[in-house]
Amino acid sequence: MNTGNKISKDEIIVNIIHELKTPITTIYLVSQTLRKIFDNIGEINYFDIIDEECSTMSNLLDRLIMLNKIEEPKIQFDNNINIHDILTVAVNSMKPTLKGKKGILTEYYRAEHFIVKGNGDLLISAFRNIIQNSIIYCNTVPEITITTYNENNDIVLLFSDNGIGIEEKYYDKVFDKYYKIPDKKHIDGTGLGLYYVNKNIRRLGGSVMINSCIGKGTTLKITLPICLTKI
Ligand SMILES: Nc1ncnc2c1ncn2[C@@H]1O[C@H](COP(=O)(O)OP(=O)(O)OP(=O)(O)O)[C@@H](O)[C@H]1O
Ligand SMILES: [Mg+2]
């Protein structure tokens, strides 16, 4: 909170987070340009490494932004949000990472009612987290499908992948703060992604459910109440 001329610690932190995003984006863009000149030299594609690391740093900053927003009492949770637009923003921002893994993402936006009350930034962050998980927890070329449809007075969003899958005994646990399924291969995460996804979706009156098959893939089902009043 700003008291007089004093800038609060929170404001400084948020500012630094935003400022850090700019050099990461620049590094990513420079990497894209250099890739065109030097690609396919040597066995290791260093540009893929740069892109992935940029994406990791960017996601960590998103997490910090989200953390700050959750603790922020004045955050607006009642804006009219077009879920399909928000999904498009989230999908586009994950395309470089997906491209790095030669992944495929298919969208079936079938819902006819797609306006919800919520906060756009938090929803983008939530969707990015889910897509990022689908890319990370996959030992093959990622194939992701996002489907929307209406059910009663809700919009349903299905995020399906062909990743390593989640055992049923972990379905609830993965929503716990800092919980990571014991796994030697995918050790990078902080265990916060799905915790925030669940927290934010519930805050909007929605729910998140997991359905998975080990070795075949995972589907995350998000349900959100649609806004029935005219906007
Ligand atoms: N699509 C998925 N397929 C397989 N396992 C998954 C998937 N999504 C999440 N998981 C498992 O659930 C755990 C919790 O996921 P979550 O996104 O909360 O944390 P994280 O990915 O480990 O770290 P963070 O998202 O904070 O960087 C992961 O460690 C992973 O084991
Ligand atoms: Mg994650």
Q: From 39, 59, 75, give the residue that closes a domain.
A: 75
Does 87 share its domain with 175?
Answer: yes
Does 196 share its domain with 123?
Answer: yes
Of 58, 63, 127, 133, best ligand 1 pocket probe by most atoms within 8 Å of the beta carbon: 133
Q: From 33, 59, 75, give the residue that closes a domain.
A: 75
Does 69 share its domain with 104?
Answer: no
Neighbours of 154 (CB within 10 A): 19
SS3 string, the chain, reads CCECCECCHHHHHHHHHHHHHHHHHHHHHHHHHHHHHHCCCCCCCHHHHHHHHHHHHHHHHHHHHHHHHHHCCCCCCCEEEEHHHHHHHHHHHHHHHHHHCCCEEEEEECCCCCEEEECHHHHHHHHHHHHHHHHHCCCCCCEEEEEEEEECCEEEEEEECCCCCCCHHHCCHHHCCCCCCCCCCCCCCCCCHHHHHHHHHHHCCCEEEEEEECCCEEEEEEEEEECCCCC
Chain segment 130-160, per-residue pLDDT in tens: 998 999 899 999 999 999 999 999 999 999 9
Looking at residue 1, what is its pLDDT? 44
CATH of the domain at 225: 3.30.565.10
Does 140 share its domain with 182?
Answer: yes
Does 174 share its domain with 221?
Answer: yes
Does 177 share its domain with 218?
Answer: yes
What's the structural domain count of the chain?
2
Does 61 share its domain with 89?
Answer: no
Please identify every stretch of the chain with a pLDDT value under 50, giving residue numbers as ranges.
1-5
Question: Residue 105 belongs to what domain range?
Answer: 77-231
Does 146 share its domain with 160?
Answer: yes
Asked whether 171 lines ligand 1 (CB < 6 A), one says no
Does 119 share its domain with 7?
Answer: no
Does 171 share its domain with 91?
Answer: yes
Nearest-CA residue for ligand 1 atom 12 is 174
Looking at residue 121, what is its pLDDT? 80
Q: From 75, 93, 116, give the residue that closes a domain.
A: 75
Residue 193, classified by CB atoms within 10 Å of its CB into exposed (0-12), middle (13-18) or buried (19+), is: buried
Looking at residue 203, what is its pLDDT? 87
Chain segment 69-104, per-residue pLDDT in tens: 655 555 677 789 999 999 999 998 888 788 878 899
Does 103 share its domain with 165?
Answer: yes
Asked whether 191 lines ligand 1 (CB < 6 A), one says yes
Q: How far apart are CA 1 and CA 7, in angstroms?
A: 8
